[in-house]
Structure 1
Amino acid sequence: MQCKAGLPWLSSLLVLVLVLVLVLQPGVLCDSLVCYFCAPTSLNRTCKHVLSECPARELCSTGDGRFGRAPLLFSKGCMSRSDCARPKSAVVRGNNVTFTYSCCGRNYCNSSPRITRSALTVTAIAVSVFAVGWPDLTCG
């Protein structure tokens, strides 16, 4: 068995990780935030999170829709800072639902607890290691 000089796998690994980071972090190349979008959805249902680039000067938001004190709906998207501070009322299927919003100013910050940035980073590293292949350290 012959060993190759240097660590050519390392440069391939670095290029792959860089590409994955840029793909997973589209906001790195632009001024707008990238947030998850989900139309108002029942709490007992799941929503397919879609990535959305916010217009300039908007924040990521998560909405909590309540009928009285009972939680009923949730939503995610982009919203102006001034709208984040104001509750909104809407009639949904004949019920007066009040939405309150929480907003944040980082990419992907309105993700659900199941989809976090750290989980995406760990997944990207694991995929890049397995895609490039584990180095053969037995040469020496």
Structure 2
Amino acid sequence: MHAIANSGATITYDCLPTAIADTTQLRQLFQNLLGNAIKFRGSNPPEIHIGVQRQATHWLFWVRDNGIGIEPQFLDRIFIIFQRLHLREEYPGTGIGLAICKRIIERHGGNIWVESKRGVGATFYFTIPLKPIS
């Protein structure tokens, strides 16, 4: 991504597993989450970490950033298509990226959610089952 170099972002990651999933869709998911972490950055260069932990029935992934964060009352709203929290003049975009992420994860039988504190950053969590859905 050209945006990574332009923003001065640092991206770190855990040893990522092989998951049973659609490669194209997972690529789009990570592009959307990393792109948002870079777009909604604060005054410091973005610091992004991709983590993963194996659970009993699924992989738990997270993408944590040090960006502008999200107010608690908007945490569920951001996954609804065309729901924007900022004016287009402030931050460009269509308001569909996180809705696409939600659909991708649901298609794989997982869940997606976010935890955030305004001015501190956000952590997006998602799960992918260890076994494919039938």
Alignment TM-score, normalising by the size of structure 1: 0.23
Structure number with the bigger relative contact order (C-alpha 8 A, sep ≥ 6) is 2
Alignment TM-score, normalising by the size of structure 2: 0.24
| Higher radius of gyration, 1 or 2 | 1
Higher strand share: 1
